[in-house]
Amino acid sequence: MKLSHIRALVTRPEPQAQALADAIKEFGGQAWPVPMLAIEALAETQAMRDCLLMLHQFDHIIVTSRPAARLGGELIERYWPQLPVHCRWFAIGSSTAAELERFAIKAQYSPTGADSEALLALDAFNHVQNKRFLIIKGVGGREVLEQQLRNAGASVHTLDVYQRTRPTYERNAVVKKLESHSINVILCGSGETLTNLGYYLPMAYRADYRLLVPSERVARQAHSLGFQQVTNTGGASNEMMLPALARICLL
What's residue 250's pLDDT? 65
Domain boundaries, the chain: 7-37+169-247, 40-164
| Cβ neighbours around 112 below 10 Å, total | 12
CATH tag, 40-164: 3.40.50.10090
What's residue 42's pLDDT? 97
Report the distance separating Cα 185 and Cα 142, nearest Å: 27
Q: Where are the beta strands (DSSP E) in the chain?
A: 7-10, 30-33, 38-41, 60-63, 88-91, 107-108, 132-138, 155-165, 185-187, 210-213, 229-232
Which residue blocks in 93-163 are alpha helix, DSSP H? 94-101, 116-120, 144-151
CATH tag, 7-37+169-247: 3.40.50.10090
Q: Which mean pLDDT values do the consecutive 10-residue runs of the chain (251 residues) have?
A: 93 93 96 96 95 95 95 95 92 92 95 87 93 95 90 96 95 95 95 95 94 93 96 88 87 48
β-bridge partners, 108: 90
Per DSSP, the three-state class of 214 is coil
Q: What is the distance, to the nearest Å, from the Cα of residue 95 to the centroid of all Cα atoms in its chain?
A: 8
Q: How many CA atoms lie within 13 A of 100 on its CB side?
A: 25
Q: What is the pTM of this model?
A: 0.79
What's residue 160's pLDDT? 97
Per DSSP, the three-state class of 195 is helix
What's residue 140's pLDDT? 86
